[in-house]
Amino acid sequence: MIKNTLIKATEAGASELQRFFNGSFKITNKEGINNPVTEADHASEKAIFEVIRKDFPDHFILSEESGEIKMDSEYKWIIDPIDGTVNFANGIPLCCISIGLEHNGTIIMGAVYNPNMNEFFFAEKGKGATLNDKPIQVGNKSAVMDSCLATGFPYTYVNSPNGGLEVFNTLIRRGVALRRIGSAALDLCWVAAGRFDGFYEHILQAWDSAAGFLMVEEAGGKVTDFKGNHYSVYQPQLLATNGKIHDEMLELINNPSEWDSKRFVVSK
């Protein structure tokens, strides 16, 4: 039943995303720069909540717009009612609903749905990951220089040593294919589907990654923090790869100048 509830809740949020997409809606700004919340975000969140509360009224909920709705429960729903809100607000169809389900501290299921592309990603711990009910797996590139990568930046960027811009600069100067699509949840799903070979970001929230990181792991990939430790959705740094380029990506992220000084042979 809980899987069906997750699917229904994701679809309910997606219906609201589609209802408002490229239409007229109110936009307000949360704290910080380029941090909008739209009428559609609230409508999606409301629709998702209604489905979950109908089936599991005693479950804990953590959602981007409403924060924590604490309950004494083994289960926690971690919700981004629209991931990629800036894209959504500008009519860019790279946005999605993302819901992860945590049980006793472990993410056990995740769903990410981009209705604009009719792509529904689903993962269940120990049972693999799917795109529109078909199994997916990560790619097989074995070198960063040959890979297609993705990243994102916080808008209130702090220029810290080995920060996002420094790593980005190193990759771009080397000619590595690097994309920024504006939705961490989709970035992770696209790693799981083999479209990207890796994704890294310096600052993420739990609702950004709870569903997507499980997608990568269940598709055969690897997800850690920037020290190579087990990934937790409650810490900010994330590196997700096909597994084969993971160690090299860790080296690059932690020492971009040293990685840049190496000689590389690009596959033909």
Q: What is the pLDDT of residues 11-60, one digit of tens each?
A: 999 999 999 898 776 766 655 555 667 888 999 999 999 999 999 999 99
CATH code at position 209: 3.40.190.80
pLDDT (0 to 100) of residue 72 = 86
195 and 152 both lie in a single domain: yes
Whether residue 149 is found in the same domain as residue 130: no
DSSP-assigned letter for residue 146 = G
Q: Are residues 91 and 148 in the same domain?
A: no
Q: Is residue 264 part of a domain?
A: no
pLDDT band at 109 (very low <50, low <70, confident <90, very high): very high
Phi-psi region of 145 (alpha: psi -120 to 50; beta: other; left: phi over 0): alpha
**Domain co-membership, 13 together with 64:** yes
Instruction: State how far Cα 247 lies from the chain centre.
Output: 21
Residues whose CB is less than 8 angstroms from the CB of residue 93 and which lie 6 or more positions away in sequence, other chains included: 21, 87, 114, 116, 117
Q: pLDDT band at residue 155, thresholds of 50, 70 and 90?
A: low
CATH number at residue 93: 3.30.540.10
Round to whole Å and give the CA distance between 154 and 164: 9
Query: In 104-237, where do the E strands start and end?
Result: 106-114, 119-124, 129-131, 134-135, 148-151, 177-179, 198-201, 222-224
Whether 266 is covered by a domain: the verdict is no
pLDDT attached to residue 134: 98
Furthest CA-CA distance within the chain:
58
Q: Of 231, 262, 245, give the one whose Cα is nearest residue 196.
A: 245
Whether residues 181 and 162 share a domain: the answer is: yes
Give yes or no: residues 100 and 148 share one domain.
no
Higher pLDDT, 266 or 229: 229
State whether 70 and 124 are in the same domain: yes
Boundary of a domain, candidates 114, 135, 156:
135
Whether the CB-CB separation of 128 and 135 falls below 8 Å is answered with: yes
Average model confidence (pLDDT) for the chain? 91
Helical segments of the chain, H only: 2-20, 39-55, 85-89, 164-174, 184-192, 206-218, 246-254, 256-260
12 in a structural domain: yes
Are 131 and 148 in a shared domain?
no
Alpha helices in 85-183, H assignment, sequence order: 85-89, 164-174
Whether residue 117 sits in one domain with residue 7: yes
What is the domain count for the chain? Answer: 2
Give a yes or no: residue 268 inside a domain. Answer: no
Q: Check whether 158 has a pLDDT greater than 60.
A: no
Last residue within a domain, chosen from 135, 160, 176? 135
Does residue 188 form part of some domain? Answer: yes
Structural domain span for residue 170: 144-258
Residue finishing a domain among 80, 106, 135: 135
Q: 172 lies in a domain? A: yes
Q: What is the mean pLDDT of residues 113-141?
A: 98
pLDDT tens, residue by residue, 203-257: 999 999 999 999 999 999 999 999 999 999 999 999 999 999 999 999 999 988 8
Q: Are 123 and 152 members of one domain?
A: no
Cα angle value 89/90/94 (rounded, 5°): 85
CA-based torsion, 132, 186, 106, 60: positive or negative: negative
| Mean pLDDT across 142-163 | 80
